[in-house]
Every structure is written in C-alpha cells, then in structure tokens.
Structure 1
Amino acid sequence: MAELAELYPGFEAHNIDTPAGRIFVRTGGEGRPLLLVHGFPQTGVMWHRVAPALAKTHRVIIPDLPGYGWSAAPEPGKDHAPYSKRAMGEALVAMMEHLGHAHFAIVGHDRGARASYRLALDNVGRVDRLALLDIAPTVSTWHAIDRSRALKSYHWSFLAQPHPFPETMIGKDPLYFLDWTLASWSGPKNLSVFDPRAIAHYRAAFSSPDHIRAACEDYRAGATIDLAHDEADLAAGRVMECPVLVLWGDHGSVSTGPLESWRPFAPRLQGAPIHSGHYMCEEAPEAVLAALKGFLG
C-alpha cells in the first residue's frame, strides 16, 4: 500500500470494524455527509476525479466494500449471505454510525449502487438522497437476459458459477482479467480513460485470492439471495422514499436507459444519460459532477 500513489491528498484514512469485518474508508471535506460506494472490479479509488469537488460542499466518506480494496474479505457462507447487498448495506450503516452519521446521501456505482439501493430499501428514512450510476435493478437485469444481454454481460453468469471454477480461471492471470474488464467496459474499449496510478491500485487489490473469491461471492449473491430480496420487495410494493437520481453511460452497461425498470422501486425518480462508457466518474467526471450538483444541492 505504501508504494501506491496517494490519490486523496488531505483525506483521512480509517479502519472501522463492522458486522462484515474491517472496512477501510477515506474521509474528507465538510458539510452534509455523502457516502460514495464503488463497484466491481474497482475500489474506492474510482472516485478520485470527483471526490475533491464534492468535498467542497459535503463530508465525503469513501469506503472499500467488504471483500474489495483494503477492506477485509468476509468468510463465504453456504447461501452467499455474507456477500448479499443487504449484508453490505448493514456494514455501511454500521460504518456511517461509527463516523457519527445517522442520515446521509449516497452515490453508488455498479455493485456499490446495488448495495446502496438495498440499503435505502431496508432503511427507510436513513438515506436523504440516492444517486445510482450505470445499473438497472438486479431483478430486472436477471429477468431481461437474452442472447444479446448474455454476451454483453457474460460476467454475471461466469462469476456466479460454483466455487472454485471462476476463482481458478481468474487466478491463472488475474491482471489480464482485470485489465480486460476495465478496458472492455470503457467507452474507448481501452485503458486510456484511467489514471495509471488508479490502475495500480486496482491491480494490487485484485491480485489476492481472497479478494478474487470475494468478487465471485458478490456475483453469486447477486444471482440468488439479492434476486430473492428484490423479488420480495416488488411483491410487497416496498419503495425507496428518498429522491433517486439514475445516471447511465450512453456507451455503458445499460445504454438503452434504465428509468422504467427503476419506477417500481423509486416513486421520486429522475435520470439522464452521460456521454461515457461504464466508468463515468473516470471517463466524464465533469458531466457527473454537474448532474450531482443539481441533485445533491
């Protein structure tokens, strides 16, 4: 860790014990609390191009999710529950309470957005505002998979295969898998949109076997317990009561526009595309900041 570039000058680093184990978190800025939650296959480093601007108006909290980055990887469970988005949400709530924040806004990207909307559904009244970046709900994603979607989102089924198959395949050359994933989901289909210092962080974090397994467990939970939680909420009519902003890359993973899929969960919904691939906070940080500024206030 000491050999990696510091991309958050002026931010403080913490290690906080939660029900999911130790979480590594960076904090900076002053104002209303704003939680930024990264996705796969990245870490909290992915916010480095937008966090300094957000820290001018907010107290910014940037964790590494359980099993990612410098956070501990929980022991896998038979039902994948330790990596459910409900468990991740509970860990984030415990972390925020430890830092003194009972209510807060959230911006989540990719898997972090899934943990974020689950947190909002499970904790009505705790989340002030929620921004979800480049995802559709887990339930609508699984139910909509056809030939085109399966080819585009092959990792959903590959990473969800039983242990140890995907871990073994990725473990043969984890940096190849990581670089391929980062490049293929970006707008230009290469690594040019990423700061090389950020890529060094992603590579260091993704190289350990326990974190490779954690990423697979994340997707196994997505195919099972997370899907069941979404289906139960749909059947019960549970919604997120806070305002919800959905942003998606016009060359991202949900480029057709996900607003209709979010309406059953988010009655106070708004959204717009960003000219970007999947990694919009690194590809189009100014556009993301402009959209968040109007939403977060």
Structure 2
Amino acid sequence: MRRANLNSWLLAAPLTGVLVVFLILPILLIVAVSFWSSNEFSFYPDFQFGNYEYLFGSAVAWKVFGLTFMMTVIVWALTLVIGFTIAFFLAFHVRTQKWQMALFLLTTIPFWTSNIIRMISWIPLLGKNGLMNQTLIGAGIINEPIQWLLYSSFSVCLAFVHLYTLFMVVPIFNTMMRIDKSLIEAARDSGASGFQILTNVIIPLSKPGIMIGSVFVIALVMSDFVTTRFMSGSQLANVGRLISNDIGLLQYPSAAATAVVLLITVLLMIGAMLRLVDIRKEL
C-alpha cells in the first residue's frame, strides 16, 4: 500500500511541479506585488492597501467593471444560444458521423486566421460607409448611416461572439454526442413533445458541456482587452485595458491589484456556475 501511494505521488510530481512553477508561483507573485508601493518612476516592496483602496474608491474602476460584467453576460448568453443550436443540429439532425465531423470542422474555419484579422474583417462591413450601411440606405430602410454599428459596445460584443462561440460549441457538442439516443426514443414513445424532450432530456444531460463552455467564454471575455480596444476604437475600456494601461505606465502594483480583483471575480462567477453541475463527469 505504501509503495503504491509512493508511486502515485511520483507520477503526479512532474505535473505538480509544472503547475507550481508556471501557475501558483506567478499568481502568488502578482498578489504580493499588489501590496507594493510605487511612484512616478519606480515601484518598491511594501505592504499597504493603497492600491486596493484606490481601485475600490474609483468611480471609473466601478464603471469599467460594470461594463465588463455587462458585456460578459451578453456575450455568454449569445454564445450559449448560438453554440447550443449548432451543437443540437450537428448531434441530432445530421444523421451520419461523416457529415457531423465535416460540418463540425467547418465551424472551425474562422480559427484558421488570427483574432486580429477576424476583428478587422468587421470594419468594412460595419463602418459608416460599410456594406451594411450602404445596403440599408440602398434599400431605403434608413436615410443616413447608422453610427453605432462600429466602434461601440455593439461591435465589441459582436466581435466577442464571433471569436468565442466555438468555445461553447465544442463542449456542448461533445456532451450531446454522449447522450443515449434510446432515451430520446423512449421519451418520444411516451408521448413527449419535441419541446418536452429538449427541456427534460437534452438540456439536463447537456449541462456539463454548457458549464465547460461557459467557463471558457467568461474567462476569455473578462480578460480580453485587445478586442475591446480595436472594436471600440479605444472609446471603451474593460478591466483588461485597465491592467494594460497600468503596465504601460509602469504602475505594476496597481495593475497587480486590478488583476487580483479580476481573478477573484472570475473565480466567483465560475464557482457559482459549477455549483449547478459536477463537470468532473466530463473531465
């Protein structure tokens, strides 16, 4: 028994070492730096709560956190609806596994290019003189270009949905493919309608995939500042941009404090979701 336990610890030691060096230690260092002091030219070790007091006492920071949370909820809801619909279609309406894999790979085509290129591709479509406005004007629906299509919260959320929907499709599709089709046939033979089968069979059995996809989307959207910068024309800011701006100004303690608060916020959101379902069944 002791030898078996020793072998288990030895097998886990390499991965544990990697996690400690590349995950736990950096996070601990960020937490430590968040209590340091800084001036206009440098930062130095200290233990004070000034960075957190400034962050929680700043109306701008609260506004940025609120905007980040709002966009995260919107993007999560849209990616969930779109991702669930695509996964449902692939899993239950495409009959052959060959076509399922072919159509699933088709959804990955946008990931063959970089995020920057995919974001920039929206500009000719949504711009003031873009294809969307020109089409609406030509059809007589509007008389002048719509200004909020680009460089606004709308364009930022649209880009997020475009970038991260696949992270919702993959785990949901993987979960749906594991659902025993005989359960659906039994429900149908018992007189259940299509909506009842969806709400009472498919959605409950798809919860682990939904939770995994939600974790990916929330974590990515909360921390992504490049998309917000490009698609808002630098007119909007999220928490990631606050951190980026502080780093650019060499205010590392302030950036670290914001990063710690962001990490805690994301962990609380994910923890609340994981209480609804045990995703360890999927891992």
TM over 0.5: no
Q: Which has the higher contact order (CA 8 A, sep 6+)?
A: 2
Greater share of strand? 1
Greater share of helix? 2
Q: Which has the larger radius of gyration?
A: 2
